Structure 1
Amino acid sequence: MKNINKAALATLISTALIANAYAVDNTTDEELDASDMTRAYSTFYVGASNNGDLKASGSLSYNLGNGMESMVSLEGTMDKEGKYSDSRMQYFHVFSIDSAVTPRVAVSLDIIDNSMATTAALGAISIFKTPIDSLTFFGRVGALTGEFSDESLAQFNITDNSLVGGMAAGYAVWKTGQDGTFLAAYPEFTYLSGDIESSTVKTTLMAATPLSSDHTRWGQVKLENTYGEMTSDSRQLDIDETKVWFNYKVYF
């Protein structure tokens, strides 16, 4: 697993460098909307948390025509000691729908690896327009399967590492000004079932604003709180973690 993690981080760095150098925007000609979670963009961002973690992510997008877009993204995180923390690989596919309320839906396949488990998740997200132009909602659901890590097996004294689960999330986004600055709030619920049962609620508050006149460079501040528990027949672990992330994001 460690070799796979190192390979994922190496691939992430390579992809980010290629995206930064190539800088091709293959999305549609619509005005860039950094608050829209159902759009596919070529991007690169770096972030740092209040406890010293570092995160980098790169994505490459393509306009398939007929209102469809696709995107491949890679993300990796290192802790303050420079050690691997977690990674994520995603394929994202957007479909346009002839609806004024729900003009787009997207499906995604995510591979996520961290100290607790490695999972593959199939999900869908939809945008929901409101009569108020500055206020938008999004809804997301997903099903996942995977394996608990060796660290989790030892910590909870179990032998079966298989898991299944699901997630659901709701997102509220409010644009506060003409420059595109927006605030977002969203809870994400995730449930994992197996010899270990895990249920967590991750609540995020985010503020983002453009740092350039063409709106291709953005600054973000994210407050994340993860609350929940992991239980097995022999142990229960309570989870309550809060982080603040400072991100710099570039759209190509």
Structure 2
Amino acid sequence: MKNFKKTVLTMLIGSALISTVRADDNVKSTNLDASDMTRAYSTFYVGASNNGDVKASGSVSYHYENGMESMVSLEGTMDKGGKYSDSRMQYFHVFSIQNPIVPRVAVSLDVIDNDIATTAALGAISIFRTPIESLTFFGRVGVLTGEYSDASINDFNVSDNSLVGGMGTAYAVWKTGQDGTFLALYPEFTYLSGDIKSSTVKTTLMAATPLSADKTRWGQIKFENTYGNMKSDNNTVDIDETRVWFNYKVYL
């Protein structure tokens, strides 16, 4: 596990450097829409939460002549004490299906590591246009597998660390102005099954606005609430956590 964490953080730094090299090519070749969750962009962002956590993420994208897009992203978080908290690696592939209501569908492979578990998830997300140009919906579903951490196994006094599960998310995105400023609201339900069962709902409200005239630099505020529980035959832990994130994001 320690080697995995070191690998993620090292790759994150490398991703940021590669993204910088690709900056001019990517921004000029795409119609930037920061509110569209079915587009692949080369980006870098840093963020800080109200409890002192610090997060950094970098992504590298590629756009194909047939309209498909792909992206590899890496994300890592440190707690206020400067220690590793969690990380994520993702491959994201976008398919253009030329439908006026559902113009794009994307599939993703995510590897997420934190204090609770390490999981690999296969998911899909689709955009849904509405008659109101400023309002867009997205839907995401996924299945996942992995294993609980040693700390989780000890805390819940179980022997089997394997898990399987699923997740579903519905996104509502509203563009509030001509400059691209938008609000996004999305509840995300996740269920994990095994000797430890976990059921959580993470509700996020995000406001994002461009900080530069070319709309390549953005400021974001995220309000996140995670509610649910983890339980085994021997222990139950209730979850109710709220965090506020302040992010600075650059489209390269």
TM-score for both structures, normalised by structure 1: 0.98
8 Å CA contact retained: 2:46, 2:249: yes
Cα shift at 1:27: 7.2
Matched letter for residue 239 of structure 2: I
TM-score for both structures, normalised by structure 2: 0.98
Q: Which residue of 2 aligns with 1:20?
A: 20
Q: Which residue of 2 aligns with 1:242?
A: 242
Residues 179-190 of structure 1 mapped to structure 2, 5 A cutoff: 179-190=179-190
Q: Whole-Å Cα distance in 2 between the matches of residues 123 and 150 of structure 1?
A: 26
Cα shift at 1:64: 1.8
Partner-residue secondary structure (3-state), 1:239: strand
Cα shift at 1:7: 1.6
Q: Which residue of 2 aligns with 1:61?
A: 61
Map Cα deviations across residues 26-53 of structure 1 (whole Å, 9 max, x no partner). Answer: 4784420000000000000000000000
**C-alpha RMSD of matched pairs (Å):** 1.1
Q: Which residue of 1 aligns with 2:84?
A: 84
2:48 matches 1:48? yes
Q: Which residue of 1 aligns with 2:171?
A: 171
Partner-residue secondary structure (3-state), 2:64: strand
Map Cα deviations across residues 209-236 of structure 1 (whole Å, 9 max, x no partner). Answer: 0000000000000000000000000000
Could you list the runs of 5+ residues in structure 1 that have no partner in the other structure? none
Q: Which residue of 2 aligns with 1:158?
A: 158
Matched letter for residue 134 of structure 2: S
Partner-residue secondary structure (3-state), 1:221: strand
Q: Whole-Å Cα distance in 2 between the matches of residues 31 and 21 of structure 1?
A: 19
Q: Which residue of 1 aligns with 2:93?
A: 93
Q: Whole-Å Cα distance in 1 between the matches of residues 243 and 64 of structure 2?
A: 37
Q: Whole-Å Cα distance in 2 between the matches of residues 25 and 152 of structure 1?
A: 45
Could you list the runs of 5+ residues in structure 2 that have no partner in the other structure? none
Q: Which is worse superposed, 58-67 or 128-137?
A: 58-67
Cα shift at 1:19: 1.5
Q: Whole-Å Cα distance in 1 between the matches of residues 93 and 21 of structure 2?
A: 24
8 Å CA contact retained: 1:27, 1:63: no
Q: Whole-Å Cα distance in 2 between the matches of residues 240 and 4 of structure 1?
A: 28
The alignment-based identity, stated in percent, is: 77
8 Å CA contact retained: 1:27, 1:69: no
Cα shift at 1:24: 4.5
8 Å CA contact retained: 2:104, 2:126: yes
Q: Whole-Å Cα distance in 2 between the matches of residues 193 and 46 of structure 1?
A: 33
Q: Whole-Å Cα distance in 2 between the matches of residues 98 and 17 of structure 1?
A: 34
Map Cα deviations across residues 161-209 of structure 1 (whole Å, 9 max, x no partner). Answer: 0000000000000000000000000000000000000000000000000
Q: Whole-Å Cα distance in 2 between the matches of residues 119 and 164 of structure 1?
A: 9
Distance 1:21 1:68, change over 3 A: closer
Q: Which residue of 2 aligns with 1:37?
A: 37
